[in-house]
Amino acid sequence: MTLEKATFGAGCFWSVEVTFRNVPGVVDAIVGYTGGTKPEPSYQEVCTGMTGHAEAVEVTYDSTRVSYKELLRVFWENHDPTTLNRQGPDVGSQYRSAVFYYSTEQEQAARAMKEELSTSGRYRRPIVTEIVPASEFYRAEEYHQRYLQKRGLATCAV
């Protein structure tokens, strides 16, 4: 088993977490905040949009079972990467579409897939997904972890 990390912002982190937990080869998915300026932000602070953080999911995966490119595919297919600072009814920079990369290989893979999708004709509007270096990831409060699963609104394989 070779464990690696990937971090994605794709709107409200509750459903994003469930989506990644159900990918074979994903060992863990935790929700939190990244990409901002305030150390140890709270949910209430992030919700103001003033900390600069995105709601994000940090995915730990076994790269011998699932590739980073497959995780990118799941990311792109499960949110609208053409809406700036918005996913469905959630509006604000904390809901932005973002790939937070940990290596040059992850950055190159994300940029290549973004370019491929941009020229594919799949989307009518330009893709606005940020592709930026991973920064400090702050685990969200415990009540946010596995939120939908705890409420019987989702099933998780892990």
| Residues designated as active site | 12
- CB 139, CB 30: distance < 8 Å: yes
- The angle formed by the CA atoms of residues 138, 140 and 141, to the nearest 5 degrees, is 135
Tell me 83's DSSP state.
Answer: S
**Are the beta carbons of 94 and 16 closer than 8 angstroms?**
no
Q: Where are the alpha helices (DSSP H) in 13-131?
A: 13-21, 43-47, 68-77, 104-118
Is there a contact between 81 and 123 (Cβ–Cβ < 8 Å)? yes
